[in-house]
Chains A and B, each alone.
Chain A
């Protein structure tokens, strides 16, 4: 029943170099058109980058050496359930908001090890330094 609650969060739009999706601790190479689910982790290596489109038509892309989890993604406008939380462990992320931020002003949040970004709109970049480099 927990599995049934998992939501499609979006899909991979473009991939370059070492780019992976980690789902339930299993890591697979990220593929163009590949589905993204709530709780997936987007991971890139030294040369990787990746662009994704989420269900609310928001757009996110990441540079190399990045690790970001889609820790919460709920997009049910009819029931006014609208929320997206990402957790960035390290790396660079660029995000352009979509319908969730538009319809729910406190609906989009990016957590990092040292801060929380509450997003009202619309286009921004976050860098989290990798503590090991």
Chain B
């Protein structure tokens, strides 16, 4: 008595499962299109399966791979309009790429120059354009001075930048402040060597 319904379920399920495997095995055509970068340049990518490889390196160039039994198709340049139509939803959902800024400081100082203050208005623009809730501010020093002193100075620099952004209306909760002292220099030097390019705060707006 108890086996009968079970058997019935099996009878129904088995062909269904087979069907699923067959369908997913043969109908998932992949189309890959290379798009120009935001700055207009075009990169490169390779589309391959066990049967072969195609390289895409021109704007709007595309290849299709319909099955693992066949190599991806020869690259073909599609019309931009057509690509924008097929990928409209994903393109519309694409976030603005993150952007980074660097602010430099004088020796032993965490004061911002007039040029740096001007640059911060660009940072504010970037925050607003992205409705950014993820702003990373990292302070650094050059290799002059004791480790403790440099760590403190790098934190002061990062905080000085954060305070100005907050004063200009950025929510402090969206800011992450980190400090590195003399670690992670832009331009590696021996200890004790002054290097203006390392006395900096990096701001990343995501």
Contacts and interface: CB of A to CB of B under 8 A. Distances in A.
Contacts of B67: 114
A115 interface: yes
Given A64-B89, A94-B94, A120 B45 contact: yes
A16 B94 CA distance: 12
Given A63-B87, A63-B90, A121-B43, A127 B30 contact: yes
Nearest to B29: A129
Contacts, number: 161
Interface stretch (B7-15, B33-41, B149-157): B33-41
B interface, how many residues as a size bin? 35 or more
A22 B51 CA distance: 33
B33 A113 contact: no
A85 interface: no
A52 B31 CA distance: 21
Interface residues of A, number: 47
B93 A62 contact: yes
Given A128-B30, A129-B27, A53 B95 contact: yes
A29 B32 CA distance: 28
A129 B45 CA distance: 20
Contacts of B29: 114, 128-129
Given A63-B87, A115-B48, A117-B46, A131 B27 contact: yes
Given A124-B32, A128-B28, A63 B48 contact: no
Most chain B CB atoms below 10 A, which of A114, A128, A131: A114
Residue among B35, B66, B72 facing the most chain A CB atoms (10 A cut-off): B35
Contact of B38 (A63, A96, A114): A96
B91 A96 contact: no
B34 A123 contact: yes
B196 interface: no
A90 B33 CA distance: 16
A51 B97 contact: no
A125 B49 contact: no
Interface string A1-35: 00000000001011010000000000000001100
A126 interface: yes
Contacts of A132: 23
A14 B44 CA distance: 27
Interface in B60-111: 65-68, 72, 83, 86-98
Given A14-B95, A61-B95, A94-B91, A125 B48 contact: no
Contacts of A16: 93
B49 to A, nearest CB: 5
A96 B90 contact: no
Contacts of A118: 45-48
Interface of A: 11, 13-14, 16, 32-33, 49-53, 57, 59, 61-64, 66, 88, 90, 92-94, 96-98, 112-132
